[in-house]
């Protein structure tokens, strides 16, 4: 008989033997699988932390994005893109500088001189005043379009502000340098001066070889976003008409001669303004059979009196 200690020892040995013979391999395999599973996942989770298992979605074939057929019609007005108001255009930081020249004959000379003289003394200050003066000058030229015998344009586009200021100053200074006496000048402060120099203008008397005289009107404009055509009087004038007060930065109109008694023939005009070109055939230089050159608008040679029909065109 076994005593109590022996009994319990015997039972314990039997249980160990039974677990080794029957259950041991299953327990060992289970531990191995569990250990291998955890080492692959690399999870070392605290028992207090809930285990979050990532279950990937079932693999399905992803359809290719379909390209909508290109429509040949404009989008309907109810489309969000079509009905969305366009963003306001940013103000251009670049400027264009344009010079527009017109040489008008005797029919328009005095009316244009008088109208520009009044405009110079009634010029309103500020951007709106500049714009009105520009439009008034262009309208004046348009009203006397049939008297325009010479035209000229020059444009500088896409200039930084500093460079545009220099170009504008050079254009206006070049035009003012072509005459000696400045009779009327109105600046931004609305001040009118009779002359820039201390030399007084002499008494002027028309001469026979000058005829009834021409007047050249030059408009110089600096404006934001101004891109004038490379050439052409009418397209350039149209571009200036379309400007608004916000765009217009600087404007100057220079006309010469300014005095009624100061006459300039087409022969003198072509010498002083070589950049202008004639748009008519009854102006410019002709040479009489006596050898004297004179302006084509004169009826007779100022030297010998022969009719202009007998003269030869020069140039």
Mean pLDDT of all residues in 42-66: 34
Handedness of CA 37, 42, 45, 51 (dihedral sign): negative
The answer to whether the predicted template modeling score (pTM) of the entire model surpasses 0.95 is no
Q: 150-180 pLDDT, tens per residue?
A: 999 999 999 999 999 999 999 999 998 887 6
For the chain, what is the mean pLDDT? 74
Asked whether 101 and 218 are in contact (CB, 8 A), the reply is: yes
Measured in Å, how far apart are the chain's first and last C-alpha atoms? 153
Ranking 20-24, 242-246, 261-265 by mean pLDDT, the lowest is 20-24
pLDDT score recorded for residue 196: 35
User: Mean pLDDT throughout 60-79?
Assistant: 33
Mean pLDDT, range 55-84, rounded to an integer: 33
Q: pLDDT tens-digit profile of 304-314?
A: 999 999 998 88
Reported as a pLDDT band with limits 50, 70 and 90, residue 4 is low
- What pLDDT does 247 receive? 95
Closest to 271 measured CA to CA, from 210, 205, 312, 221: 210
Interval 204-212 mean pLDDT: 90
Residue bearing the bigger pLDDT, 108 or 198: 108
The Cα 136–Cα 141 span in angstroms is: 9
């Amino acid at each position: 008989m076994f005593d109590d200690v022996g009994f319990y020892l015997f039972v314990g040995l039997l249980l160990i033997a039974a677990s080794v013979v029957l259950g041991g391999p299953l327990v060992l395999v289970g531990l191995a699988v569990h250990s291998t599973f955890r080492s692959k996942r690399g999870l070392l989770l605290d028992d207090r932390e809930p285990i979050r298992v990532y279950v990937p979605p079932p693999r399905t074939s992803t359809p290719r994005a379909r390209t909508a057929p290109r429509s040949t019609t404009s989008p309907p007005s109810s489309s969000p893109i079509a009905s969305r108001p366009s963003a306001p255009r940013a103000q251009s930081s670049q400027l264009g500088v344009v010079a527009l020249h017109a040489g008008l004959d005797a029919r328009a000379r005095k009316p244009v001189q008088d109208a520009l003289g009044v405009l110079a003394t009634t010029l309103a200050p500020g951007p709106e005043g500049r714009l009105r003066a520009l439009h008034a000058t262009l309208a004046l030229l348009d009203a006397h379009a049939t008297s325009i015998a010479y035209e000229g344009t020059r444009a500088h586009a896409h200039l930084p502000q500093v460079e545009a200021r220099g170009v504008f100053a050079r254009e206006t200074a070049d035009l003012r340098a072509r005459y000696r006496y400045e009779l009327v000048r109105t600046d931004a402060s609305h001040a009118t001066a009779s002359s820039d120099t201390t030399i007084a203008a002499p008494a002027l008397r028309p001469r026979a070889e000058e005829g009834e005289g021409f007047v050249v009107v030059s408009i110089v404009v600096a404006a934001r976003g101004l891109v004038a055509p490379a050439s052409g009087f009418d397209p350039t004038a149209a571009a200036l008409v379309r400007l608004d007060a916000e765009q217009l930065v600087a404007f100057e109109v220079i006309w010469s001669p300014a005095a009624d008694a100061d006459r300039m023939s087409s022969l003198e005009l072509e010498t002083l303004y070589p950049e202008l070109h004639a748009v008519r055939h009854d102006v410019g230089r002709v040479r009489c059979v006596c050898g004297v050159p004179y302006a084509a608008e004169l009826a007779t040679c100022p030297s010998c009196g022969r009719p202009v029909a007998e003269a030869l065109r020069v140039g």
